Structure formats: C-alpha cells, structure tokens
Amino acid sequence: MRLTSWILPLALLAVLCAAQTPKEGPMPLPPSRKPDFWELDRPGATQQRHVDSRQVKQQADELAKLASGVPRDVSHLQEGLLAKDLSNNLKRIEKISKQLRQELAQ
C-alpha cells in the first residue's frame, strides 16, 4: 500500500516535468533584442525600388502573345501535329515570367 501511494505522485510529477520541457523550434529572443526584420536602419530598407514600367509592359505583352498561342498548338498536338516552335515558346514564357518575377520582387 505504501509503495502504490508513492507511484501515483511520482508518475504525476514525471508527466508535469515532461510537459515543461521546451519543444524543438527557434529559440526565443531576449526581451531587449528586436528581430532582424524590425531593423529599418540597414542600407536599402527604406529606399523605393525602381521598376522600369516600359520594360515590364513590353515583357507582359510578349508573355501574353506567346501564351495565347499555346492552346492552339496543344490542339494541334491532339491531331498529331507538333508545332516546331512550341518548345521554344514555352521556354521563352518561362524565361520572361522569371524575369518579371525578379523585377517585381526587387
């Protein structure tokens, strides 16, 4: 009887101690230190980015022109005809969209 009266409190204590152990993840910052993304005094943080709207418009127009031809070329594929420039157009679409993403993300 005396042994069982010690087992329950020890088991409860073990469960409570296990619940108090920190989980894996990032370590919390001390209260006096701000996260890096709050720093506005680093170079370029407050500068406006410049986007060449003429170039972006030109790339967007070319992208739209290339993309509009893809459904037609795919329908020709179903008929057994392969457009010789389909692969090149798809690669060009990828390249232009990547350039646009990079310009707009700056």
How much is the pLDDT for 42?
A: 56
Amino acid at 3: L
Distance CA 71, CA 12 (A): 66
**Confidence band of 11 (pLDDT split at 50, 70, 90):** confident
The residue extents of the domains of the chain are 51-106
How much is the pLDDT for 41?
A: 56
How much is the pLDDT for 106?
A: 73
How much is the pLDDT for 51?
A: 77
Provide the phi-psi class of 48: left if phi over 0, else alpha when psi is between -120 and 50, else beta.
beta
Phi, psi angle pair for 22, to nearest 5°:
-70, 145
Provide the phi-psi class of 94: left if phi over 0, else alpha when psi is between -120 and 50, else beta.
alpha
Tens-digit pLDDT profile for residues 24-46: 666 666 666 666 665 555 555 55
Mean pLDDT of 63-85: 89
Q: pTM for this one?
A: 0.51
